[in-house]
């Protein structure tokens, strides 16, 4: 990737500004890496690599969620910087080729976490005023407080993203030389980046997994291995597994609905003298 232009920096700022607000105030889905990374990749001139980085980073974030006041490493800054590093290092557009970029992006994701915590801390002092506005039914005052929070958070993310863009790009050549001299370090980052995807799934399963679901998990794992080992189905492994999962979900939903309907219909039924349906 060549030198960063002013237009690219402005576009990155705008994207980070919007995504920073979206994580709490808009659709709350645009900020996900699967959306953010391809946009950043397109701005930097490598849309395909942005898609791959977004998919890989999404697997890391799939189990991350804020608990109380604790914020996980931020998906926006992590996704942006992972894309910046991947493009700067001219990595291959494969899931295995972006592992080092994912590892390098984690410290920047922590900075994004600090930006969220700083904004929340600043806005906590405004809650007393918001309560007064609510008592007086001052819709305009409450609206302005929300706009203030959005503006502060968006600007923080925009500034961090642009600073990371220039820093990450400048660091790209240094990392290239470093990777040649100390290949074992980059190999370690690559392995760590690959492992984080499984950590994300493990966190998600810890929250959602129940005892009766383990059979479906093992069946899906077996099916994915069988499909991926067959040349005719290897390219559509995820789609095939998704179709089977949707079919099981529809069947389970239908059966559970019928059971509930039958239970409700028979609750007040005493029965008669004749057999029959």
Q: What is the pLDDT of residues 235-247, one digit of tens each?
A: 888 888 889 989 9
Those residues whose C-beta lies under 8 Å from the C-beta of residue 34, and which sit 6 or more positions away, are: 54, 55, 58
Those residues whose C-beta lies under 8 Å from the C-beta of residue 48, and which sit 6 or more positions away, are: 41, 93
Is 76 part of any domain?
yes
Is 46 part of any domain?
yes
Of 208, 223, 241, which marks where a domain is finished? 208
Q: Are residues 123 and 248 in the same domain?
A: no
Q: Which domain holds residue 117?
A: 6-208
Is 61 part of any domain?
yes
pLDDT band at 234 (very low <50, low <70, confident <90, very high): confident
Q: Are residues 28 and 125 in the same domain?
A: yes
276: left (phi over 0), alpha (psi -120 to 50) or beta: left
Is 203 part of any domain?
yes
Assess contact for 190 and 211: CB atoms under 8 A: no
Q: What is the pLDDT of residue 158?
A: 92
Q: What's the rounded Cα separation, in Å, for the pair 118 and 23? A: 15
Is 252 part of any domain?
yes
Structure tokens at 130: 């918001």
Q: Mean pLDDT, to the nearest integer, of 76-104?
A: 78
Q: Mean pLDDT, to the nearest integer, of 25-41?
A: 88
Q: Are residues 109 and 245 in the same domain?
A: no
Measured between alpha carbons, how far is residue 80 from residues 61, 85, 102, 132, 246 in Å?
A: 13, 9, 10, 39, 32
The answer on pLDDT for 87 being more than 70 is yes
Neighbours of 220 (CB within 10 A): 15
Which residue has tokens 């232009």? 5
Q: Mean pLDDT, to the nearest integer, of 134-153?
A: 91
Q: Are residues 178 and 231 in the same domain?
A: no
The answer on pLDDT for 276 being more than 50 is no
Measured between alpha carbons, how far is residue 230 from residues 24, 112, 218, 225, 254 in Å?
A: 43, 42, 19, 9, 32
Q: Mean pLDDT, to the nearest integer, of 142-159?
A: 92
pLDDT band at 177 (very low <50, low <70, confident <90, very high): low
Q: What is the pLDDT of residue 17?
A: 95
Query: Across 16-25, 70-79, 202-211, 259-268, which has the greatest mean pLDDT?
Result: 16-25
Q: Are residues 180 and 77 in the same domain?
A: yes
Q: Are residues 148 and 202 in the same domain?
A: yes
The answer on pLDDT for 197 being more than 80 is no
Q: Are residues 170 and 190 in the same domain?
A: yes
Q: Are residues 174 and 219 in the same domain?
A: no
Q: What's the rounded Cα separation, in Å, for the pair 220 and 61? A: 21
The answer on pLDDT for 171 being more than 60 is yes
Q: Are residues 117 and 148 in the same domain?
A: yes
Q: Are residues 134 and 197 in the same domain?
A: yes
Rounded to 10 deg, the angle between the 47-61 and 183-208 helix axes is 50
pLDDT band at 194 (very low <50, low <70, confident <90, very high): low
Those residues whose C-beta lies under 8 Å from the C-beta of residue 163, and which sit 6 or more positions away, are: none
Q: Mean pLDDT, to the nearest integer, of 166-178?
A: 67
Helix (H) or strand (E) holding 92: none
* Count of structural domains within the chain: 2
């Amino acid at each position: 990737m060549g030198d960063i232009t002013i237009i690219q920096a402005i576009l990155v700022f705008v994207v980070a500004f919007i995504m920073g607000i979206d994580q709490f105030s808009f659709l709350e889905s645009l900020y996900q890496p699967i959306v953010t990374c391809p946009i950043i990749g397109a701005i930097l001139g490598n849309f395909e690599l942005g898609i791959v980085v977004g998919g890989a980073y999404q697997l890391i974030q799939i189990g991350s969620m804020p608990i109380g006041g604790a914020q996980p490493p931020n998906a926006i800054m992590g996704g942006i910087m992972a894309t910046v590093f991947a493009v700067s290092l001219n990595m291959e557009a494969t899931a295995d080729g972006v592992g080092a970029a994912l590892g390098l992006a984690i410290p920047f994701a922590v900075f994004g976490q600090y930006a969220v915590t700083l904004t929340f801390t600043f806005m906590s002092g405004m809650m007393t005023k918001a309560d007064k506005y609510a008592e007086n039914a001052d819709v305009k005052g409450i609206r302005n407080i929300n706009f203030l929070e959005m503006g502060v958070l968006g600007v923080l993310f925009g500034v961090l993203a642009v600073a990371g863009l220039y820093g990450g790009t400048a660091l790209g050549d240094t990392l290239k030389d470093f990777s040649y001299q100390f290949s074992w370090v980059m190999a370690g980052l690559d392995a760590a980046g690959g492992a984080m995807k499984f950590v994300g799934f493990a966190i998600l399963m810890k929250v959602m997994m129940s005892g009766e679901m383990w059979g479906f998990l093992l069946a899906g794992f077996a099916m994915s291995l069988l499909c991926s080992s067959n040349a005719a189905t290897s390219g559509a492994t995820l789609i095939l597994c998704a179709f089977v999962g949707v079919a099981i979900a529809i069947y389970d939903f239908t059966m559970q609905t019928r059971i509930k309907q039958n239970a409700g219909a028979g609750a007040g039924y005493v029965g008669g003298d004749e057999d029959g349906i």
